[in-house]
Copies of this chain bind each other. A is one copy, B any other.
């Protein structure tokens, strides 16, 4: 097992807090040493998933959770919610605008891994 640090952010399913998710995403990515453009990309991808969770679930759905796992070679970000409706968020819309942004900016995107909504991974480029 690789050892890794975990950072978890719990947010209400409300549009006004997506900006908080963006700042936290920037903070984690910047600390890991990604360059400015990549930090921005990760932030945008996180924000897209948050928006989708909120759109599907609506205000009544309680909280959702964003977990950042920091590895030596990558950042893995997982989204979870206790709402069943959030289960397979992007299933019917895999070529929408949001999805094409997430796919462009992340190296790997996985739908509905285990009990989660989505997980996505960004690798750290080798400095050559």
- Chain A interface (Cβ < 8 Å from any Cβ of B): 5-12, 14, 16-17, 19-20, 22-24, 26-28, 30-31, 63
Number of copies of this chain that the complex holds: 2
A12 touching B20, Cβ below 8 Å: no
Given contacts A6-B12, A7-B11, contact A23 B27 (CB under 8 A): yes
B31 touching A9, Cβ below 8 Å: no
Give A88 to B14 CA distance when docked, in angstroms: 34
Give A26 to B30 CA distance when docked, in angstroms: 16
Give A12 to B27 CA distance when docked, in angstroms: 14
Give A30 to B63 CA distance when docked, in angstroms: 20
Residue of B nearest to A66 (CB): B9
* B residues less than 8 Å from A5 (CB atoms): 12, 14, 17
B9 touching A8, Cβ below 8 Å: yes
A31 touching B27, Cβ below 8 Å: no
